[in-house]
């Protein structure tokens, strides 16, 4: 009986460790300007974020470097891809639809309802940060 109990506890250990890791970025987030909502969800071992709603400004991906993509709706466009655990948050790539460029970036929870997003260039020497607020 003990080996079965031990196996069951070991099988649950990753779930228990994940539950104790603190707030997670899964959910719907409002950008600082209040013009977009981004949905962050699990994708593989990391997190991905897609545009869920555009409330103001351009609604097409007009700055995309691929001319064939410039007419597509921004809703559904991936902003963050494969954000993997790193330090106190997650690292991966960020697509900025405002300039059509992809940056190295980070996500970090600053509370249960505040997510800090930072995009960097030149190997992290120059970074911009935003605080997103949880919608749901």
- Structural domains of the chain in order of their starting residue, each with its CATH number: 23-134 (2.40.128.520)
Residue 21: per-residue pLDDT: 63
Alpha carbon separation from 41 to 24, 52, 70, 78, 136 (Å, rounded): 10, 12, 25, 11, 12
Q: What are the phi and psi torsion angles at 88 (to 5°)?
A: -90, 10
| Residue 2 predicted with pLDDT over 60 | no
Residue 109: per-residue pLDDT: 97
Residue 22: per-residue pLDDT: 82
Tokens representing residue 29 in the block:
């987030």
**What pTM was computed for the model?**
0.79
Tokens representing residue 43 in the block:
């994708």
Give residue-wise pLDDT tens across range 47-102. Answer: 999 999 999 999 999 999 999 999 999 999 999 988 999 998 999 999 999 999 99
Average pLDDT, the chain: 85
- Least confident segment among 7-11, 83-87, 108-112: 7-11
Measured CA to CA, the distance from residue 113 to residue 96 in angstroms comes to 22
Q: Greater confidence, 8 or 74?
A: 74
Measured CA to CA, the distance from residue 64 to residue 96 in angstroms comes to 9
Could you tell me the pLDDT band of residue 9, with boundaries at 50, 70 and 90? Answer: very low
Query: Average pLDDT in the 36-50 region?
Result: 94
């Amino acid at each position: 009986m003990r080996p079965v109990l031990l196996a069951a506890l070991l099988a649950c250990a990753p779930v228990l460790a994940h539950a104790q890791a603190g707030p997670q970025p899964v959910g719907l987030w409002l950008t600082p300007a209040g013009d977009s909502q981004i949905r962050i969800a699990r994708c593989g071992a990391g997190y991905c974020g897609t545009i869920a709603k555009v409330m103001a400004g351009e609604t097409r991906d007009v700055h995309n470097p691929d001319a064939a993509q410039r007419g597509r709706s921004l809703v559904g466009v991936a902003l963050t891809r494969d954000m993997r655990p790193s330090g106190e948050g997650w690292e991966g790539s960020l697509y900025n639809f405002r300039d059509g460029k992809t940056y190295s970036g980070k996500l970090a929870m600053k509370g249960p309802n505040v997510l800090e997003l930072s995009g960097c260039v030149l190997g992290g020497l120059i970074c911009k940060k935003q605080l997103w607020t949880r919608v749901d």
